Amino acid sequence: MNEFSFSPREWGQRLAAPIDAVLLAFLALLLGYALLLMMSASPERLNNQLINIAVALVAMRVAAQVPPQRLMHLALPLYLGGVLLLVAVALFGDVSKGARRWLNLGFMRIQPSEIMKIAMPLMLAWYFQKHEAMLRLRDWVVATLILLLPVALIARQPDLGTAILVLAAGFFVIFLAGLSWKVLVALALGGLASLPVVWTMLHDYQRQRILTLLDPEVDPLGKGFHIIQSTIAVGSGGILGKGWGGGTQTHLEFLPERHTDFIFAVLSEEFGLLGNTFLLVLYALIIGRGLMIAANAPTLFSRLLAGSITLIFFTYAFVNMGMVSGILPVVGVPLPFVSYGGTALVTLFLGVGILMSIHKHRMLVQK
């Protein structure tokens, strides 16, 4: 066989080499399910979403190619660059819908907080790997500062949804790195005690969202409208749902943001409890596979990174479904791998790619 000759099989093998077939199979099922939903919720966006998925898969494949050691080198510059961009946003960012989240680069607009979703676990995993030999109190404090600086910048924009995701990503690394249970309990109690203080720091619309959650019927046509309508959509779906394309809440436009943050309500309405359970199982499988990869990872860095990324998938899913079904306040968190939108999808698949890379490279270090 000629070195330069084209062999589809060989190319296919090379292309698939860093890919984890199990994880990809679960994701393929999930994406198929998501596209089916999109065809009902917003068929005119199907083509765009297909393009988004294609781009995200390329990002995944690229990330899967990069060995964890190389990722370690990226951690610090990515983190510092991300923080600098966040500062730039705070100073020169574009305002849209009352929040300063975007940085206009002239040719495109970027949302630096999105970078932090990857940069944060990378940075902390790198930091713990570097100080692996001896973890002192000082290291925990530094880790906490590394975590809180960008979270504070993002929360100030304000973008509560992303802030929560970045905070969670960092917290998972610290938790998995072995922060003592005593400190965790103390933090939890301290957190509860500081709630009143946090309350005073929240923006009006954020407070409103929380109040609305507690009793949406107070303002059924205003702030409570979204949450009431999405709860009605979920509840009216019943066990088997109203059938694909048969959701009245969805198709008569009672549901807000039905293709993005509230797509789960469409699923609940049209496919019922059965469809929801199927989604929960798919997520559980993906998360389980991710945790397995983390458990088998060779270095502290890759373990922490893989664990954190996996748990971030969980955080997305839990916050989104909790919000749509009315047990969590409305924050802008999409349903992972399902909601319409390119940015979130690319970020998520970068995470998947990193997981795959960690999985493929699990033996190398040990050799």
Partner 1 sequence: MMRQAEFRNPEQELDRFQRRLAVAGGFVLFAFFLLFSRFFWLQVIQHEHFQTRAEDNRISIVPTVPNRGVIADRNGVVLAHNYSAYTLEITPSKVADLEDVISELATLVDIQPKDHKRFRKLLDESKNFESLPIRTRLTDEEVARFIAQRFRFPGVEIKARLFRQYPQGALASHALGHIGRINDRDIATIEKSDAEDNYRGTVHFGKTGLEQKYEFELHGQAGYEQVEVDAAGRAVRVLSRTAPVSGNNLTLTLDAKLQEVAEKAFGKRRGALVAIEPSTGGVLALVSVPGYDPNLFVDGISPPDWEALNTSEDKPMVNRALNGAYPPGSTFKPFMALAALELGKRTPQQAISDPGFFTFGGHTFRDDKKGGHGMVDMYKSIVQSCDTYYYVLAGDMGIDAISGFMRKLGFGSRTGIDIEGESEGVLPSQEWKKKRFRKPEQQKWYAGETISIGIGQGYNAYTPIQLAQATAIIANGGIIYRPHLVKHIENTGTGARTPVEPSPLQALSFKPGNIATIRQAMVGVNKEGTGARAFAGAEFVAAGKTGTAQVYSLKGAKYEVGKVQERLRDHALFIAYAPAEQPIIALAVLVENGGFGAQSAAPIARQVLDYYLLGKLPKSAAPEDEEAVEDE
Q: Is 287 in the site for partner 1 (CB under 8 A)?
A: yes
Nearer to partner 1, 204 or 217 (CB): 217
Cβ atoms of residues 309 and 355 within 8 Å:
yes
Q: Nearest approach, Cβ of 256 to partner 1 (angstroms)?
A: 9
Q: Is 286 in the site for partner 1 (CB under 8 A)?
A: no
- In the region spanning residues 288 to 307, those forming contacts with partner 1, defined by CB under 8 A, are 288, 291, 294-295, 300, 303, 307
Nearest in space to 316 (alpha carbons), one of 333, 328, 329, 332: 333
Nearer to partner 1, 80 or 280 (CB): 280
Q: Is 136 in the site for partner 1 (CB under 8 A)?
A: yes
Nearer to partner 1, 175 or 205 (CB): 175
Question: What mask of x and - would describe binding to partner 1 in positions 76 to 115, judged by CB under 8 A?
Answer: ----------------------------------------
Q: What is the DSSP string of 312-342?
A: HHHHHHHHHHHHHTTSS-----PPTTTSS-H
- What amino acid occupies position 34? A
Spatial CB neighbours of 311, under 8 Å, sequence gap ≥ 6: 168, 169, 172, 287
How far is Cα 69 from Cα 4, in angstroms, rounded to an integer? 31
In terms of phi and psi (left: phi > 0; alpha: psi -120 to 50; beta: otherwise), the region of 335 is beta
Spatial CB neighbours of 43, under 8 Å, sequence gap ≥ 6: none
Nearer to partner 1, 294 or 352 (CB): 294
Q: Nearest approach, Cβ of 107 to partner 1 (angstroms)?
A: 32
Give me the count of residues in the chain.
Answer: 367
Q: Is 32 in the site for partner 1 (CB under 8 A)?
A: no
How far is Cα 128 from Cα 124, in angstroms, rounded to an integer? 6
Q: Quick one: which H or E segment has residue 264?
A: helix 263-295
Size of the site for partner 1 (CB under 8 A): 51
Nearer to partner 1, 3 or 253 (CB): 253
- Residues found near partner 1 in the complex (CB under 8 A): 132-137, 140, 172, 175-176, 178, 180, 229, 231-239, 248-249, 252-254, 268, 272-273, 276-277, 280, 283-284, 287-288, 291, 294-295, 300, 303, 307, 311, 314, 318, 321-322, 325-327
